[in-house]
Structure 1
Amino acid sequence: MRARRLGAALLRGGARPRAARAVKARRAAGGARRAGRLRRPADPRPTRPPVRPPTVAERMAGRCELWQDLASGRAEHGDRVVIGEWERAWLPRLAAVEREWASLVTGDTLVHFDPHFDNFIVGADGAARLVDWGRACAGPPWTDLVCLLLESDLGEPDPEEVFTKQPLGRDAPPEQVDALLVALAGYWTRTAAQPGPAHAPHLQDRREQSRRATLNWLRTRWGWVTEGQPG
């Protein structure tokens, strides 16, 4: 009934002055409140910082321990992993580097950490855009370059040669690059021995390709010795 009465009064013109006065009063009150906010000193409390992404090591926590498990005999039972002659020859060094990799592969650059071809979209302008940042983390600035080379079909080019020709790769500390390669080699060696998930069985082949690419790159950096003590 109140709404009807107000509507009727407006139609008759009787409520217009009161309505206009009410609108003016509300505007004046709003202006006073805004002015008061402007006159108040700024809140001295710091604003909430942006969400910190996990580090590369935190992203891979619990998934880069294969070489240590093999060296200590913990992976002998219930593990389908089969390693080659080169890995067995270099196992002590692989385990030692893997033990320290998390403290070596550090940085504050936001990296994608999964730059395989499925995550690139090429626009009409020819620019490639990286999508699906679900594995983003903080790490060295050259991390995505390493991952891109490992998850790409390079053909004949040597990833070490391609990597060191790029400014990011040229400036990368060798021991840190070795540490990331060792961690990823262990991760892919273990996951490639497992069947792919039901919704994406092709992932097993992709992991095997990445495993081979990572170990080949390490062989290039460390040497191809497979007999006796590695030099």
Structure 2
Amino acid sequence: MVQASGVRIGWADLPAGVRDGVVEILGEPVVETVSQVGGFSPGTADRVLTASGRRAFVKAVGSALNEQSPAMHRAEAGVARRLPGGIPTPRLLGVHDDGDWVALVFEDVEGRHPHTPWVDDEVAAVLEALRRLAVPVTGLPSLRVDSEEDFAGWRRIAQDPPPGLDPWVAERLDLLDELAMAGLAALEGDRLVHGDVRADNLLIRPDGSVVVVDWPFGCAGPAWFDTLTLVLNVRLYGGRLDDDVIAAAPEAITGCVAGLGALFADRARRPAPPGLPTLRRFQQDQADIMITWLRDRLRAR
């Protein structure tokens, strides 16, 4: 199974002006850095320590590494500034943006990623964190609007089928598109949605509680959507989490499974982006999970 990972640079690889910008945000020199692995970005992911012992987390990327990554950092900064207090997310301390390089500085969270295969107590802790996240929000993008192109992936596949397309999928492309459109309609909502809940975007604190990190896709949608993506990740890496944990109508769940399957299947056939050589394989792995999940749901229906 492909893990979520890019070919990352480290703190020492950042331009001096970017490092200086981070120091300006923190108010004192950085004396120690520890690079973090995981996540689909070619940029830095460093836990840093300042001269006085202050800790922070820094993620930075420039357009030469990947044209889209700076825009994602800017999007995350916009979301982070709008997150309400009292929810399990790291606080944004500041942003350095020189028009090319974007560096985000967050409070450091002492923690580790969940075990994979997933274990029951950590699944339960993540579900509790998602419950706390699902608060009303304003000023964030709409999940339904943002998903319109992605959920139309079966149409693009029908117009240009890739080699080796699963025969079960090939015979049902019209039905899959119909289901995905029903799933799209179910994405209306005013609750905070992370949009990409998976093990590498979660940190387990020493007390067992969970902090949800990496928010470029933060938006407003239904409270249950993040739980559905958690079920996907548990299915992907192994563990126990049944569909009945998703507090949505069965038709909405089936539709969103079809829609996410369209997203992953369509994107997986694209060329690999610079600095992210395993991304397409990871998307194909998720597409395979969604197709199997969809077949199971349709068979049960």
Task: Tell me the TM-score normalised to structure 2 length.
Answer: 0.49
Give unpaired runs (5+ residues) of structure 1.
Answer: 1-49, 225-230
Q: Which of 160, 175, 200 in structure 1 is aligned with 2:276?
A: 200
Question: 1:172 matched to which residue of 2?
Answer: 248
SS in 2 for 1:200: coil
**Counterpart position of 1:149:** 231
Of Structure 1 and Structure 2, the greater helix share is in 1
Which deviations, in whole Å up to 9, do the C-alpha atoms of 1:81-117 show, x marking residues without a partner? 6421111222221122234433222222111011111
Please report how far the alpha carbon of residue 220 of structure 1 lies from its aligned counterpart in structure 2 after TM superposition: 0.7
Post-superposition shift, 1:198?
2.0
Q: CA RMSD in A?
A: 2.4
> Which of 138, 143, 153 lines up with 1:56 in the alignment?
143
Q: If the length of structure 1 is used for normalisation, what is the TM-score? A: 0.63
AA in 1 matched with 2:198: H
Indicate conservation of the 8 Å contact 1:81/1:193, yes or no: no
d(CA) in 1 for partners of 2:214, 2:204: 14
Could you list the structure 1 runs, at least 4 aligned residues long, displaced by more than 4 angstroms after superposition: none
**1:196, 1:204 within 8 Å by CA — same for their partners in 2?**
yes
CA contact (8 A) 1:68 1:99 kept: no
Deviation at 1:154, TM superposition (A): 4.4
Task: Please state if 1:140 is matched with 2:140.
Answer: no
Amino acid at match of 1:223: R
Shift of residue 214, structure 1, vs aligned partner = 0.8
Report the more deviating stretch, 139-148 or 61-70: 61-70
Q: CA 1:210–1:96 in structure 2 vs 1: closer, same or farther (change >3 Å)? A: same
Q: Which residue of 1 aligns with 2:188?
A: 106
Give per-residue Cα distances to partners, 1:115-146, cap 9 Å, x unaligned.
11111122222222101111111122111111
- Corresponding residue for residue 214 of structure 1: 290
Q: How many residues align?
A: 164
Q: 1 or 2, which has the higher strand percentage?
A: 2
> Aligned with 2:270: secondary structure?
coil
- What is the letter of the counterpart of residue 285 of structure 2? Q
Partner of 2:243: 163
Whether contact under 8 Å (1:98, 1:179) holds in the other structure is yes
Identity %: 25
Q: Distance in 1 between matches of 2:261 and 2:251?
A: 15
The amino acid of 2:209's aligned partner reads A
Q: Measured at CA, do residues 155 and 118 of structure 1 come closer, stay the same or move farther in structure 2, by a change above 3 Å?
A: closer
Q: Rg bigger for which structure? A: 1
Taking the aligned partners of 2:179 and 2:255, their CA distance within structure 1 comes to 6
Matched, 1:184 2:260: yes
Equivalent position to 1:91, from 173, 194, 198: 173
Gaps of 5+ in 2: 1-136
Q: 1:81 to 1:59 in 2, by over 3 A?
A: farther
Q: 2:220, 2:163 → 1: CA distance?
A: 30
Match of 1:118 among 193, 200, 211: 200
Comparing 175-184 with 89-98, greater Cα deviation is found at 89-98
Aligned-residue offset at 1:51: 4.5
Which residue matches 1:69?
156
Give CA-to-partner distance per residue, 1:3-23, whole Å, 9 cap, x none: xxxxxxxxxxxxxxxxxxxxx
Q: Distance in 2 between matches of 1:82 and 1:124?
A: 45
